[in-house]
Structure formats: C-alpha cells, structure tokens
Amino acid sequence: MIPETKKAMSRDQLLWVYQRMTLIRIFEERLKKLVESGVPTGPVHLYVGEEAVAVGICAALDYSDWISSTHRGHGHCIAKGVDVRKMMAEIFGKSTGTNRGKGGSMHITDFQVGMLGVNPIVGMGVTHAVGAALTSKVLGNGRVAAAFFGDGAANFGAIHEAMNLASIWKLAVVFVCENNLYADATPIEFTLAGGSIVNRAAAYGMPGVRVDGQDVFEVWEAADSAVSRARAGQGPTLIECATYRYYGHHQSDNPLRYRSAEEEEAARLRDCIVSFRARVLTEGLLNISDLETIDAENQRLVQEAVEFAKSSPLPEPTELYSDVYGPDFS
C-alpha cells in the first residue's frame, strides 16, 4: 500500500523524477558492463537501487542550490543535472570529462550545476556543503546546500562537527543520510550506537525525519519542507533515507560475502523505479507512453555518453603539470 502524500508533484516534476531516476539506473547498469569488460578502469561505486534518494532530494532543490556528494556519487551528479556525456568521459579519464580527466569517478564535479564534487574521503564533503551554506548566508543569496552521506559516514567525526556548526550558525543545509545498511562490508548493527541515525538530529537541535528512501515521493516531501525551512533561515534538517545498494561497495566487491541473497531479493522487491511506475500508472498521473518516451530517450543519452567518452581524446601528457596552483593574482 502506497501512503497518501500531502503534497502533489506537478506533471513536469513527475516526468523529471522518472527521467532522472531511470537515467541513473541505465547509466550505472551500462557502466557496470563496461567496467566488467575492462574499460574504464579505476574504482567505481554504483548507485543502483538508491536512485529515489538523490532524485527526491534534488527535486526539491533549485538549479542554483548546492549539493555535496560521497564516493557513491554518480546518482547525485545526474540528479543535480551534470551532463552524462562529460561524466562518462571523466570516468574514462578523457580530456572532455567534467574534470578534464584529472578526477575520475570519485571526483566528478560541476560547479555550473551546483555540484560541489564527488568526495571519497568519507564524510568530508558534508563540511563543504556547510561552507557553501555559509557563503549563502554571508552573501545573502538564498542558496541551500544538501549534503549527502552514508550510514558509514554517520559515525565519522566531521559529520557531527558539521551538524553542530550548521545548527549553531543556522545555516541552510539539508543533511541527507543514505542508510543502505552497510559501511563497505560492515553491517550497520555493528557500527551504529543507539540504534538510530535520525535520532542524532535532536542532539544538534535540528529536526530529523526518517523516510522510506525507496519512495521518491516521501523523500521529496521531506526534502521540500527541509529546503523551505533552510531557505527561510531556520537552519538545517537531517533526513535519513532507508535505502539499499543492489551491488557491492565497488565493482570488485561481492556483497554476498556479507549479506544474504534473500535480503537482496527482498530489497529488490521494493525497487524505487518499479514502484514509481506502478503508482503513476495506477493513479493516472502519467501514461505508459510518457514513460516509454523517457526510457527511449535515456537509452539514447547513455549510448551517446559512451560513444562520446570512447571517442574523446586523452589529456595531453603535459596536463600532469597544469592547475597545481590557481592563476596568480595581479
């Protein structure tokens, strides 16, 4: 039974949400195949299964708002609007990538769309979102920053310092914990004292809400009120999203070494895209041709991204030495 939501998404929002969730899914599934075939190389942390979190949060943000990300960042990037061609090129280490081939999967960044950077030092990106919100406050530009982190990072000191700082300074931050139950290969019951991430919000004087991270409507609703609160100068909110990653921590990780096939199957039964489709079709919010049009378009976008990445030039060898320092001041 899908719970009734108090607010309703517009048709445009529904189309956007579906387009972004499925674009992430197709991008990641395609990338998985490519990585398994040997190219591109380098660590890749797939977001498959968690799409409703990134998309539900970003659906509540404006184009000019900021997000910070984690090592598992492709979904956040796509949800915030990073060009998938440039993303794929970056993952391939090409000069046409978002970071001109100098960052790879774990550092994809696009300030043009408010994406502060995928950041694989677990938990550190959250403090950059706090800094972006500090900028908003000092400059008075009303921009909100959403900080994604996982259940693993929930036990990392920087997160706690960041929550405390954002709260005492009433910064426009939305802390988004993607609780996928595993910190790498360690189950949450082995890492989390007190049994709850969301309850920790109270200690920092901010509202905390736990939502079903497989339900994009629930995530969006929580994000929408957190963003409104932040934009009104009332400070940060913590949203804990219960979610699940379908694949391993990275491409070479077999999750069946630390979790059961039954658990995986049960999680897949609550797939965020399947349930979204069922709901919008049952309720007549979108029709099948809307969805099929988006599916076809996404297939094309990802195909185009792969071709773009493969055909793009590698960085010039001298790029090794460029951009160590910024340009000199005059």
Partner 1 sequence: MTMKKQTPVRELTFSQAVNEAIRQEMRRDPTIIILGEDIAGAAGRAHLGLAEAWGGPLRATRGLFSEFGPERVLDTPISEMAFMGAAVGAAMTGLRPIVELMFVDLIGCCYDQIMNQAAKMHYMMGGQIQVPMVIRIPYGTHGGPYDTSGGRPGYGGGAAAQHSQTLYSVLAHIPGLKVVVPSSAYSAKGLTISAIRDNGPVVVMEHKALGSAAKGYVPEDPYTLPLGRAAVARCGKDITLCGIGRMTLVCLEAADKLAGEGIDAEVLDVLSLAPLDESAVLESIKRTRRLIVVDEDTPTASMARDIAARVADKGFDWLDAPVKTITSANTPVPFASVLEANYAPRADQVTAVAYELVGK
> Which residue ranges make up the site for partner 1 (CB under 8 A)?
66, 68, 97-103, 107, 109-111, 116-117, 119, 121, 124, 126-139, 145, 157-158, 161-162, 164-165, 168-169, 322-329
CB nearer to partner 1: give 187 or 233. Answer: 233
- Give Cβ neighbours of residue 96 (< 8 Å, ≥ 6 apart): 85, 86, 89, 308, 309, 312, 313
The least distance separating partner 1 from the CB of residue 166, rounded to whole angstroms, comes to 9
Question: How far apart, in Å, are the Cα atoms of 72 and each of 63, 179, 251?
Answer: 21, 12, 12
The least distance separating partner 1 from the CB of residue 327, rounded to whole angstroms, comes to 6
The least distance separating partner 1 from the CB of residue 15, rounded to whole angstroms, comes to 30
CB nearer to partner 1: give 21 or 130. Answer: 130
The least distance separating partner 1 from the CB of residue 32, rounded to whole angstroms, comes to 24
CB nearer to partner 1: give 82 or 188. Answer: 82
CB nearer to partner 1: give 129 or 239. Answer: 129
CB nearer to partner 1: give 56 or 97. Answer: 97
The least distance separating partner 1 from the CB of residue 158, rounded to whole angstroms, comes to 4
The least distance separating partner 1 from the CB of residue 102, rounded to whole angstroms, comes to 5
CB nearer to partner 1: give 171 or 239. Answer: 171
CB nearer to partner 1: give 87 or 280. Answer: 87
The least distance separating partner 1 from the CB of residue 269, rounded to whole angstroms, comes to 39
